[in-house]
Chain A
Amino acid sequence: MQSNAGMEYDYSIVKLFLWTTVIFGIVGMLIGVLIAAQLAYPELNYLLGEYGTFSRLRPLHTNVVIYGFTLSAIWASFYYSGQRVLKVSIAESKFLSILIKVHFGLYIIAAAAMVVTLLMGITASKEYAQMEWPLDIVIVLIWVIWGVAMFGLIGIRREKTLYISMWYYIACFLGVAMLYLFNNMALPTYFFSGGLGNIMHSVSMYSGTNDAMVQWWWGHNAVAFVFTVPIIAMIYYFLPKESGQAIYSYKLSLLSFWGLMFVYLWAGGHHLLWSTVPDWVQTMSSVFSIILILPSWGSAINMLLTMKGGWNQLTENPIIKLMVLASTFYMLATLEGPIQAVKSVNAIAHFTDWIPGHVHDGTLGWVAFMAFAAVMHMAPRVFKREIYSKSLLDAQFWLQTVAIVLYFASMWIAGITQGMMWRAVDEYGNLMYSFIDTVSVLHPYYVIRALGGFLYFVGMLMFAYNFYKTATSGRKLETEPQFRSPMA
C-alpha cells in the first residue's frame, strides 16, 4: 500500500451512479404515476398499444425503481462512503479501477435489457424477480463484480475497523447473493425440449407451494437487503457526516445489526398468510414480523437521537430534513408492516390497497428520501460545486411530504374499505357486495393516489434539475466541505 500523501478519493464511478440514480428515478416514477392513473382511469391503458398496458408497465415500474433508482443510489453511496470510512482510494489499485468500470458498463447493459424485455412482455412472472434467465446470469455476474470490488477495497484499507455502514453493505451483498440465486433457479425450456418454444422462456425449479415460499423468501428479503439494509448503511454515514454529530450509540447500531440479520430472514412467509402454505410457516413468519419491530426501531431511534443537541439543523438544512423524515417513515413502515403481518389483521389487509400503501410509505418516505439526501450530500463533494438551490430542495421536500401523505392516507382508507366490503355478509351469509361495487367506491381514492404520485414525480423533476444545475453550474468550491453541505 502506498503513502496517502497527496492522494485523493476516486469519485469517477460515483458520478456515473449519481447520474443513473437521477435518470432511473425520473423514468421509474413517471411509469408509477401513469399506472396509478390507469387504475383510476382505465382508458389510459390504451395509449401505447400492448406496451402501455398496466400489466406491462407495473413490473417495469417496480424493477426500474428498485434495480435502477435504488441500486444506483446504493452503489454511488457505497463507492463514495466506502472509500472514505476505509481511508483508501480506488485509484490506488489499478485492478479495482478497471473492475468498477466493468461493473458500471455491465449494469447499464443489464438495465437496458431489463427495460426492453419487460416491455416486450418477456417475464418470469415472479414478484421483484421478473427478469428472465439470460438477464439473471448477467445480474449474478454484476453482483460478483461488486463483491470483488467491495472486498478488494476492504483488503487494501488503511482503517482496520469496519465502520457500521460497511457491515450493512456486506450484508446487502451476501443477502441478495444467496436469495437471488435460490429464487431464480430455473430451467430454460428451449434447451430441455429439443429446441421448442422461445429461447427466453424458463420454468422455476420449484413448484406450487414450495415455489411460493421460495419466492416470498426472496420477495420479502429484497425489501430487507435492497430497501432496508443498504439504506441503513447510507443513513449511518450521511446523517453523522452532514450533521457533524457522531452516531448516538455505536453499540446500539451493532445490536440492531445482528438483530435485523437474525430476524428478517424468517419473516417472508407473512406474504402467504391464509394461503396453502403450512400453518407453522404462517405463524412463525407472523411472530418474527412482530419481533422485527425491535431491531428496526433500534436503528431508527439511534438515527433520530444522533440529532440530539443539534435539532436546530432540522430547520436550517433541507438535507437533514430529508434524513430525519426518512428515519421517521422507517419507523412508521416498520410498525405498519408487523401490524399487517398479524394474522387477524392480515385477513382484512391481504390483497387490498393497504399493501401498496404500506410499501410506498417505506419506498417514498424512507428509501427515496434517503437517496435524495445522500445524492445531495455527495454532489458538492464529487463535483466540487455548491448545491444550486436550497429553496428548491426545501420546496421539493415539502411537496413530496404532502404527496406521500396523500398516497398512504388514500391507500389506508381504500384498503380497509376494500377488505371490509369483501368480507361483508348479510343475515343469510351471502356476500353483500360484488367486486365492481368495491371498484366504484374506491375510485376517488385511486384519483387521490394518482395525484399524490404526480406531486411526488414533480418533486423528482425539481430534484433532477437541482442536481443537474449543481453538477454543471453551481458555484465552484475551493475546499471540500467538512460537514454541512454548502447550498445557495
Chain B
Amino acid sequence: MSIADIQAYAYLVGTVIAVFVFYNYIVYLYRSEKRGEKDHEKFGKLALDDDITSKPLVDNNPEAKNEKKEK
C-alpha cells in the first residue's frame, strides 16, 4: 500500500468520524434541552444584557465559585 493510499483511507475514516461526532453533537444539544439538563438558548441573552455592571450569566469569578461551594 502506497503512502497515497494510506492518506486516502485516513482521509475517509477521518471524515466519517467527524460526521459521526457532528451528528452526535446535534443529538446532544437537542436531547439535553428536552430533558431539562441544559438551556442553550439562554446564552442568546449575552448580546442583549452586556453592561459591565450586569450580572454574568455564568460567573467566571473563582471567589464566587468558592463561596457557592462553601454554602
Contacts and interface: CB of A to CB of B under 8 A. Distances in A.
A158 B43 contact: no
A244 B44 CA distance: 11
A262 interface: yes
B56 A163 contact: no
B44 A246 contact: yes
A485 B43 CA distance: 23
Contacts of A158: 56, 59-61
Give the interface centre of B30, B33, B48 by most chain A CB atoms within 10 Å.
B48
Nearest to A157: B60
Nearest to B46: A163
A254 B47 CA distance: 15
Contact of B40 (A81, A83, A240, A250): A250
Given A160-B59, A249-B41, A251-B41, A241 B52 contact: no
B1 interface: no
Given A251-B29, A258-B25, A262-B22, A246 B47 contact: yes
B68 interface: no
A255 B26 contact: yes
A246 B45 contact: yes
Interface residues of B, number: 27
A250 B54 contact: no
Contact of A244 (B18, B42, B48, B59): B48
Contacts of A254: 25, 29, 40
Nearest to A238: B47
Contact of A89 (B18, B25, B52, B54): B52
B66 interface: no
A476 B51 CA distance: 20
A244 B47 CA distance: 9
Nearest to B18: A262
A85 B18 contact: no
A478 to B, nearest CB: 16
B16 to A, nearest CB: 12
Nearest to A252: B29
B2 interface: no
Nearest to B45: A246
Contacts of A240: 44, 47-48
A247 interface: yes
B40 A161 contact: no
Given A241-B48, A251-B29, A255-B25, A1 B58 contact: no
A321 interface: no
Contacts of A249: 41
Contacts of B48: 240-241, 244, 246, 483
B37 to A, nearest CB: 14
Instruction: Give the size range of A's interface with the partner.
Output: 35 or more
Contacts of A251: 29-30, 33, 40-41
Contacts of B41: 246, 249-251
A337 interface: no
Interface in A228-270: 236-237, 240-241, 244, 246-247, 249-251, 254-255, 258-259, 262
Contacts of B42: 250
A165 B47 contact: yes
A85 B52 contact: no
B17 to A, nearest CB: 11
A306 to B, nearest CB: 9
Give the interface centre of A161, A236, A237, A255 by most chain B CB atoms within 10 Å.
A161
Nearest to A255: B26
B70 interface: no
B50 interface: yes
Interface string A132-160: 00000000000000000000000001111
B3 interface: no
B46 A161 contact: yes
Interface string B9-20: 000000000100
A308 interface: no
Given A163-B43, A250-B44, 18 more contacts: A1-B61, A5-B53, A81-B50, A83-B52, A85-B50, A87-B50, A159-B46, A159-B57, A160-B57, A161-B58, A236-B47, A241-B48, A246-B41, A246-B47, A247-B47, A250-B42, A251-B40, A262-B18
Interface of B: 18, 22, 25-26, 29-30, 33, 40-48, 50-54, 56-61
26 contacts: A1-B61, A4-B53, A9-B52, A84-B50, A84-B51, A87-B51, A87-B52, A158-B61, A159-B60, A160-B57, A160-B59, A161-B46, A163-B46, A165-B47, A240-B48, A246-B41, A246-B45, A250-B40, A250-B41, A250-B42, A250-B44, A254-B40, A255-B25, A258-B22, A259-B22, A483-B48
